Amino acid sequence: MRIFELMTKNVETIEADESLRVAALRMRTCNIGALPVTENGQLVGMLTDRDITVRSTALGQHPEHTRVREVMTTAVITCHPDATLGVAEQLMEDKMVRRLLIVDEARNLLGILSLDDLATVPAEVLRAGSVLEHLRHA
């Protein structure tokens, strides 16, 4: 099975210059824990609920005045949509991430694949479980 068959295609994003308050409200409204970050339509990072908590709130930064770019992760892990789910799993385990951003050759965002997505595929359940267990202890 290929990534494009399982990935979420309609991905909610956030602009790098938005405030953390806007980002947190979007996460809450959409019931998601991560937002790919764009700038002028190009992928520049990823913001997670953990980034907001650990990199901003814990330091006392004000969510209205702190920009997404100040706390986002810039070293995003990406994969091509034609790659197999096995490649995605290995990448998640090696890089210790729960989500992969799926991009084309020009790094245009096409979708997102999460460890939870992998767990929905019967043949991948056990492998996804071992990746999750590995991430939990890292």
Q: pLDDT tens across 89-116, in order?
A: 899 999 999 999 999 998 899 999 998 8
How far is 46 from 77, CA to CA, in rounded Å?
9
Report yes or no: 119 and 23 within 8 Å, Cβ to Cβ. Answer: no
Tokens representing 28 are 């809450």
Q: What is the mean pLDDT of residues 74-89?
A: 93
Look up the pTM and report it. 0.83
pLDDT above 70 covers what percent of the chain?
Answer: 88
Tell me what pLDDT residue 99 has: 94
Tell me what pLDDT residue 133 has: 62
